[in-house]
Amino acid sequence: MNNELVEQSEQQEVINNEEELAKKLYRLRKLKEEQAIEDARYQREIAESDEWYKPSKAKRTNQIDYVTALIEDYYQRRYAEDSYYRYKDRNGTVGKKVSTDYIYNEDELRKVLPDNLLKRSVSVKKDDLKRLFQSEKVDGRKKIVTDSEGHPITEDGEIIKGVVVKEKTEVTIKTTK
């Protein structure tokens, strides 16, 4: 109630002379000092609670990593038996995500690629280059055909030495909330 009266009286005030101006400057200085003290206390409390929280968070993070490793190990063993294996129940799902990484050797590509696949800055148009790769459907997914070293093969049967294709299978674990 007292704060409301102070706020109402401050909203209706107008400074008419330098004495009132000096008082308002003093009030402003004191308010800023109060705010600085409050901010310092807040930061100190946050730091204290953060220090209190760190050990339990570190322990829990280690436990999460351990359980995740157990789940991934189990999934990998089941996936080796059945390439379509996926687990789903009310607590969450475990599946896989396959991604393709391309490692480019720009110098080698500039030597073998035609000019229409090179940009003005003499770098490679990677999207256009990927369209040339021969692909096949494996397990309902488009897969790039490569030689034994991971170099992609074009539709014409030519091996592109400046690119290495690596497929990565990642276990995905999603828990329900």
Q: Which amino acid belongs to residue 61?
A: T
Give φ, ψ of 52 to 5 degrees: -65, -35
Alpha-carbon distance values, 17 to 31, 71, 81 (Å): 21, 75, 88
In order, the DSSP letters of 96-164 are EEEEEEEEE-HHHHHHHS-GGGB-TTS-B-HHHHHHHB-EEEETTEEEE-B-TTS-BBBTTS-B-TTEE
User: In whole angstroms, what is the distance from residue 127 CA to residue 125 CA?
Assistant: 6
Q: What is the DSSP letter of 46?
A: H
Its pTM stands at 0.55
Digit-coded pLDDT (tens) for 42-83: 999 999 999 999 999 999 999 999 999 999 999 999 999 998
pLDDT at 35: 97
pLDDT at 92: 94
Q: Which residues contact 176 (CB under 8 A, 6 or more apart)?
A: 90, 91, 92
Reading the chain (177 residues) residue by residue, the pLDDT tens digits are 566 656 665 667 888 899 999 999 999 999 999 999 999 999 999 999 999 999 999 999 999 999 999 999 999 999 999 988 999 999 999 999 888 787 777 767 666 665 555 554 445 556 666 666 656 666 656 666 777 777 777 776 777 777 777 888 889 999 998
User: In whole angstroms, what is the distance from residue 160 CA to residue 151 CA?
Assistant: 6
Average confidence score pLDDT of the chain: 81
